[in-house]
């Protein structure tokens, strides 16, 4: 796992936007069948039905066979004794967590927004979730997420009743909802490292020639 570059404590997501409709609630197969997922909706989800932790994410696209989500990540670690921890301890831990939009720049995950508008859109850390058995992925709907990245009280009260804790950090293959995205970022990072090595070799050769 690769931890993220930390954002400043007072930093807010400049691209923050949230679509809310029915109110924060536990997800269910019946609810998903009646109230369709919408672009802009914030959810708590698993990236695999058998996942051992959950993510906070924004629905970025609803397609015929899948949804695409932008992942929000946190530096705050989950409780090590989550299954036996008290509700009070769980609430304290999740209340301290800040979930921020995340980008993959030069292969590295960061919560610091890129300077260019194009990079802010193209370099977002995102993944695909199949609509088939979508109820096995979505845990909480219409999540209340403040611009600062803090979950609201209603959402916190629901998350502490989940059987699994939140996920910390991003960057490893297991952290990506699809391996294709991970491989693209890995390839990009390798190219950057290769360029750096060539540049350093040339610099050393020039130094010896002087």
Interacting residues of 94 by C-beta distance below 8 A, sequence separation 6+: 151, 156, 159, 160, 166
In the chain, domain spans: 25-209
Structure tokens at 146: 């403040």
pLDDT for the residue numbered 193: 61
Alpha carbon distance 58, 7 (integer Å)? 19
Cβ 97 vs Cβ 151: under 8 Å: yes
Phi, psi of 200 (to 5 degrees): -70, -40
Alpha carbon distance 74, 94 (integer Å)? 10
Q: Is the dihedral of CA 42, 125, 111, 6 positive or negative?
A: positive
Alpha carbon distance 109, 123 (integer Å)? 10
What's the Cα-to-Cα distance from 74 to each of 3, 7, 23, 118, 158, rounded to whole Å? 9, 10, 23, 24, 18
Alpha carbon distance 46, 177 (integer Å)? 9
Model's pTM, two decimal places?
Answer: 0.72
Output the DSSP codes for 76-126.
PPPPTTTTTS-HHHHHHHHHH---EE-EEETTEEESSPPSSHHHHHHTB-E
Q: For residue range 172-197, what is the model confidence (pLDDT) as tens digits?
A: 554 444 556 555 655 665 666 667 67
For the chain, state the CA radius of gyration: 19
Bin 185: left if φ > 0, else alpha if -120 < ψ < 50, else beta.
alpha
Residue-wise pLDDT tens for the chain (210 aa)?
A: 333 444 444 444 544 455 556 799 999 999 999 999 999 999 999 999 999 999 999 999 999 999 999 999 999 999 999 999 999 999 999 999 999 998 887 667 788 877 888 877 788 889 999 999 999 999 999 999 999 999 999 999 999 999 999 999 874 554 444 556 555 655 665 666 667 678 777 777 777 666
Structure tokens at 84: 């036996």
Alpha carbon distance 87, 201 (integer Å)? 56
């Amino acid at each position: 796992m690769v931890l993220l570059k930390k954002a400043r404590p007072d930093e807010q997501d400049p691209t923050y936007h949230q679509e809310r409709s029915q109110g924060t609630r536990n997800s269910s197969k019946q609810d998903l069948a009646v109230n369709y997922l919408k672009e802009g909706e914030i959810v708590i989800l698993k990236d695999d039905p058998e996942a051992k932790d959950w993510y906070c994410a924004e629905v970025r696209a609803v397609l015929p066979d899948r949804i695409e989500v932008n992942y929000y990540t946190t530096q705050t670690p989950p409780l090590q004794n989550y299954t036996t921890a008290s509700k009070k301890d769980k609430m304290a831990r999740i209340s301290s967590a800040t979930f921020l939009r995340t980008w993959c720049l030069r292969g590295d995950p960061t919560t610091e927004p890129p300077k260019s508008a194009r990079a802010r859109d193209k370099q977002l850390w995102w993944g695909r979730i199949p609509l088939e058995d979508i109820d096995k992925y979505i845990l909480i709907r219409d999540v209340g997420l403040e611009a600062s990245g803090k979950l609201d009280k209603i959402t916190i009260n629901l998350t502490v009743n989940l059987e699994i804790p939140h996920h910390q950090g991003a960057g490893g293959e297991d952290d990506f909802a699809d391996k294709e995205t991970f491989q693209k970022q890995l390839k990009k990072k390798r190219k950057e490292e290769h360029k750096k090595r060539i540049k350093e070799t040339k610099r050393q050769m020039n130094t010896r020639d002087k």
